[in-house]
Each structure stands twice: as structure tokens, then as C-alpha cells.
Amino acid sequence: MLTTVADGVHVHQSELLANNVAVVEGEAGVLVVDAGITDDEMSCLARDLHERGLSVVAGFATHPDWDHALWHPALGDAPRYGTARCAARLVELRSRPDWKSEFVEGLPPEIVDDVPVDLFGLLSGLPEDATRLPWDGPETRVIEHPAHAPGHAALLVTDRRVLMAGDMLSDVLVPMFDEPDGTNDPLREYLVGLQQLESMIDDVDVFIAGHGSSGDQAEMRRRIDLDRTYVHALRDGDPSEDPRIGSGAQPGWEWVASIHDGQREKFGKR
């Protein structure tokens, strides 16, 4: 079911991981951002759009994680975009002979038989210096940053004052980091990403997180502060009092504490 969060901007949320699919209306049709995650949910999204007389004219994946780069035949064959780094990562993944089996092995077991695989990751990479999404709709800025995953980007629909944050600013998940490869500092990169989002806050009335609830400008500021505090505590080896873990977790999200424990072991100060 589509929920309207701003003029001409809607959200379709998944059941298992509370993924938010963003839909932005343009004159010729809609932009679909981070389509996902199950066959039934994407089919439902396509039906909702059809019933509103809306067709899909463009897609965008904010980053290359499995639950953000999916697509469904019912959404049509509109061009789908990602940043150059995001698209390159997905080309590399799909080039492996056994990529489908790797993909399936990484899925939550509850939905392993209900995630369409074939169209995963088929993106056109934007030019490396691209700052605008090339689609027939309201001006949409592309804000690439290094947090969370290679080629991660947020989208800002300027006249609607809506930010689509990708896998950032969640109220149910703690910040999660790119894998270190010996040349990068994932915690520092996350702080840089938060700083870039914070620099746009005066241009935003509504933000859409990758998982969980959307919010207004004041809530965006609160979540940036919350995420920054989490990263600082992890970096410095301090105990975390983050409300998304432990007894403060929302019902059904208690497992996020195990993500935190793993990150504390991998990234925490020793």
C-alpha cells in the first residue's frame, strides 16, 4: 500500500525489514527508488501504481545491497540508475559464474523463495561527476557519499523538499559499515556521509529512511545526532546507550543487538 509523505511522493514499505520504496511522481510517470523486497510486495506496488494511472519511467538504487537493487517485471523496463561505483560493484557481482547462488545464500531464510533474482543489479551507472538524475520529472539531486556501501547516494527532490536517504537515518537499525579493505576507514566514511546529509538539512522538510519510519526536519536532525553518537562510541570503545539495541529496541527488532555486537568486535577500539 502506498502512503503519501509529501506532495507527489509516496512510500511502499516491506514487511520483513521495513524497507521503504520511494515513489516520486513526474509529468510522464514515476521514479521508483530502491524497489523491494519480495515478489508479492513488488507486484502489489505495481498494482497500486496501475490503479492510480501511473507508469514507471525511471528507477534508482541508492546502493548495491541486495535489498536495494531489486526489480520486478511488473514494474516495466524503464531505465534504472545508480552511481558509477554502485553500478560497477553490481557488474562485478553479476559477472561471477555462481552469483545467483551467492545471492540466494545471503537472503533471510523467511523470504528466500519469494525474492525475484533475475533483474537484480541491472543498473546504468551515472557519470562519476553526476549531480542530477536524468529523468522526466522534478529536479532530483544525487548526493554520493562514502558511508555504508560503495557508491551510496541519497536523492533530494528539490521542489518537494524530500530526501531519500538510502540505508541511513533509520529508527530501527543502527549504522552499518562497509567492509574494511586495508585502504579505507569505514567509521570515518560513515561520519563523512552523515556530515553530507546534515549539510542539506535546511533544504529538507521530509526524509525517507531506507528502513523504518520517515520523519520531518527535526527528526532528521535527531537521527543524525543519534547515528553520530553511535559511531563515536563504537570508534572510542565506549558503551553504547543507543535506543535501537538492547531493551530499547522496537518489538521484533531485538536482533539488531547482534549486529551491534559484531560491529563492536570488528570496529571497536581495542
Distance CA 68, CA 71 (A): 9
The pLDDT tens digits for 24-41 are 999 999 999 999 999 999
- Chain segment 111-166, per-residue pLDDT in tens: 999 999 999 999 999 999 899 999 999 999 999 999 999 999 999 999 999 999 99
- The pTM of this model reads 0.96
**What's the CA gap between 269 and 254, in Å, rounded?**
24
Place of cell 543487538: 257
Digit-coded pLDDT (tens) for 203-216? 999 999 999 999 99
> In angstroms, rounded to a whole number, what is the distance separating the alpha carbons of residues 270 and 248?
26
The pLDDT of residue 179 is 86
158, 8, 36, 256 alpha-carbon torsion, rounded to 10°: 70
User: Is residue 175 helix, strand or coil?
Assistant: coil
- Tell me how far apart the alpha carbons of residues 169 and 148 are, in angstroms, rounded to a whole number: 11
SS3 content of the chain, % helix, strand, coil (to 5): 35, 20, 50
Domain 2-267 in CATH 3.40.50.300:
no
Q: Burial code of 161-174, b = ≥16 C-beta within 10 A, e = fewer?
A: bbbbbbbbbbbbbb
Contact 54, 96 (CB under 8 A): no
**What SS3 state is found at 215?**
strand
SS3 6: strand
Q: Are strands 124-125 and 140-144 parallel, antiparallel or unpaired?
A: unpaired
